[in-house]
């Protein structure tokens, strides 16, 4: 019979089973990847905020998608980098917090992607009423809901696990998620199961809504060459992000719940973090280079820096000429 360890204060992340040399190499690779994620998302956010022409619904949603990506990665990368250089343990409170941040970020991503699908549906299928539908007040409301609902849903999920009796200390992942706490519970709480199923159905409804919007988008765009071009320019980046994100999250959920224990631990680790590796990096690339206005703004920022750099040699030559004049040359 499993021992009751309700008074546990520390969990062991047993997925971090690497040699010292592997940890050092993985540390520098992870740090480089995380810095690239930070730079890409921050650059896109700054470009959208600084340019008033980009203060439109689609770009506002893209900006929030990048913010959500940064929020989720903050819940994973700093702790993972620390674990690679020290003991891979986490406190009970830290485990609950990490699971909450990662879960709520994932749900927020999905909510924002749903808003982006709705925005494209109104823009392409109902262009005459676009500005009357996507008003500033509604955009603000949509953005607030896309953050509040995931944070609230995941808070309820996490709160249902507080005080549960545990019969284990080892989490077979490299980070904490609520489902792993449930597997350690001596008797999984029924409230958590009910909330989890509600959340699954709630976000499955998001998926059905996105599917419905794209059915109408495709039907509308088939009859018009102009709308086809608009679809390729604005909907294709969203579709790429949606497919990559949904696939990564679905594989993680299926592998975590139904995966065989005979699979290698490294494969299990990769399946568990791919939605924290790929989407946060792909989103800035897809939207930064696919959306014309965003790409132009980014190039302008780069050109400004280049022009500033070119000013220095010019100033240097002017100073040399002035010095020569003073010397009578």
Report the pLDDT value the prediction gives residue 69, as an integer from 0 to 100.
92
- Decide if 264 contacts 166 (C-beta within 8 A): no
pLDDT at 125 over 90: no
Of 194 and 6, which is predicted with more confidence? Answer: 194
Report the pLDDT value the prediction gives residue 36, as an integer from 0 to 100.
94
In a domain, 273, yes or no: yes
pLDDT at 325 over 70: no
As a whole number, mean pLDDT of residues 161-165 equals: 83
In a domain, 296, yes or no: no
Q: Which of 12-16, 65-69, 218-222 has the lowest average pLDDT? A: 12-16
Structure tokens at 50: 């600084």
CA separation, residue 7 to residues 168, 169, 187 (Å): 11, 11, 15
pTM of the model: 0.83
Q: Which of 33-42, 44-53, 204-213 has the lowest average pLDDT? A: 44-53
As a whole number, mean pLDDT of residues 37-51 equals: 89
Which run of H or of E encompasses 92? helix 92-125
Which run of H or of E encompasses 12? strand 10-13
In a domain, 2, yes or no: no
As a whole number, mean pLDDT of residues 124-128 equals: 87
Task: Report residue 160: phi and psi, to 5°.
Answer: -70, -10
The DSSP letter of residue 185 is: B
What is d(CA 262, CA 250) in angstroms, rounded to the nearest whole number?
Answer: 20
Report the pLDDT value the prediction gives residue 212, as an integer from 0 to 100.
92
- Decide if 292 contacts 229 (C-beta within 8 A): no
What is d(CA 297, CA 301) in angstroms, rounded to the nearest whole number?
Answer: 6
Structure tokens at 273: 């973090």
* Tens digits of residue pLDDT in 262-319: 667 777 778 788 888 889 998 888 887 666 666 666 666 555 554 544 444 444 444 4
Q: Which of 111-115, 141-145, 261-265, 307-311 has the lowest average pLDDT? A: 307-311
In a domain, 310, yes or no: no
Using alpha carbons, select from 269, 211, 203 the residue that is nearest to residue 243: 211
In a domain, 314, yes or no: no
Identify the three-state secondary structure at position 90: strand
In a domain, 67, yes or no: yes
What is d(CA 325, CA 319) in angstroms, rounded to the nearest whole number?
Answer: 10
Of 28 and 218, which is predicted with more confidence? Answer: 28
Most trustworthy range by pLDDT among 30-34, 221-225, 283-287:
30-34
Report the pLDDT value the prediction gives residue 292, as an integer from 0 to 100.
61
Structure tokens at 83: 């674990």
Tell me what the pLDDT averaged over the chain comes to. 81
What is d(CA 54, CA 285) in angstroms, rounded to the nearest whole number?
Answer: 17
- Domain span at residue 14 reads 10-290
Report the pLDDT value the prediction gives residue 134, as an integer from 0 to 100.
92
The residue behind tokens 């990559």 is 244
In a domain, 303, yes or no: no
Report the pLDDT value the prediction gives residue 283, as an integer from 0 to 100.
87
238: domain CATH number? 1.20.1070.10
Q: Which of 13-27, 40-54, 237-251 has the lowest average pLDDT? A: 13-27
Q: What is the number of domains present in the chain?
A: 1
Report the pLDDT value the prediction gives residue 320, as an integer from 0 to 100.
43
* Tens digits of residue pLDDT in 63-102: 999 999 999 999 999 999 998 888 788 888 888 999 999 9
Instruction: Count Cβ neighbours within 10 Å for each residue of 244-253 and write b for 16 or more, e otherwise.
Output: bbbebbebbb
Label residue 229 left, alpha or beta by phi (over 0 means left) and psi (-120 to 50 means alpha): alpha
Neighbour tally for 22: CB within 10 Å: 12
In a domain, 75, yes or no: yes
Confidence of residue 261 (pLDDT cuts 50, 70, 90): low
């Amino acid at each position: 019979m499993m021992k009751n360890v309700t008074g546990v204060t520390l969990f062991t992340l047993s997925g971090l089973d690497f040699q010292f040399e592997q940890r050092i190499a993985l540390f520098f690779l992870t740090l480089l990847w995380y810095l690239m994620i930070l730079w890409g998302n921050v650059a896109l956010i700054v470009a959208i905020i600084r340019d008033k022409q980009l203060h439109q619904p689609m770009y506002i949603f893209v900006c929030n998608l990048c913010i959500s990506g940064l929020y989720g990665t903050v819940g994973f990368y700093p702790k993972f980098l620390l674990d690679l250089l020290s003991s891979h343990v986490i406190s009970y409170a830290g485990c609950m917090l990490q699971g909450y941040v990662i879960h709520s970020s994932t749900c927020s991503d999905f909510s924002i992607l749903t808003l982006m699908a709705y925005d494209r549906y109104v823009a392409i299928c109902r262009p005459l009423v676009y500005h009357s539908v996507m008003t500033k007040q509604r955009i603000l409301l949509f953005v607030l809901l896309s953050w509040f609902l995931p944070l609230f849903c995941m808070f309820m999920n996490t709160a249902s696990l507080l005080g549960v009796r545990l019969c284990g200390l080892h989490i077979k992942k490299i980070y904490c998620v609520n489902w792993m706490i449930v597997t350690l519970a001596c008797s999984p709480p029924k409230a958590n199961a009910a909330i989890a199923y509600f959340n699954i159905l709630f976000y499955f409804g998001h998926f059905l809504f996105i599917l419905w919007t794209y059915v109408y988008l495709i039907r509308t765009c088939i009859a018009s060459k102009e709308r086809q071009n608009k679809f390729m320019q604005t909907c294709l980046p969203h579709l790429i992000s949606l497919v990559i994100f949904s696939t990564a999250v679905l594989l993680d959920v299926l592998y975590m719940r139904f995966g065989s224990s005979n699979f290698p631990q490294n494969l299990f680790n990769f399946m568990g973090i791919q939605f924290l590796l790929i989407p946060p990096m792909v989103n800035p690339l897809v939207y930064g280079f696919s959306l014309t206005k965003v790409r132009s703004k980014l190039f302008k920022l780069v050109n400004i820096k280049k022009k500033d750099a070119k000013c220095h040699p010019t100033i240097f030559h002017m100073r040399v000429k002035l010095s020569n004049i003073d010397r009578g040359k």
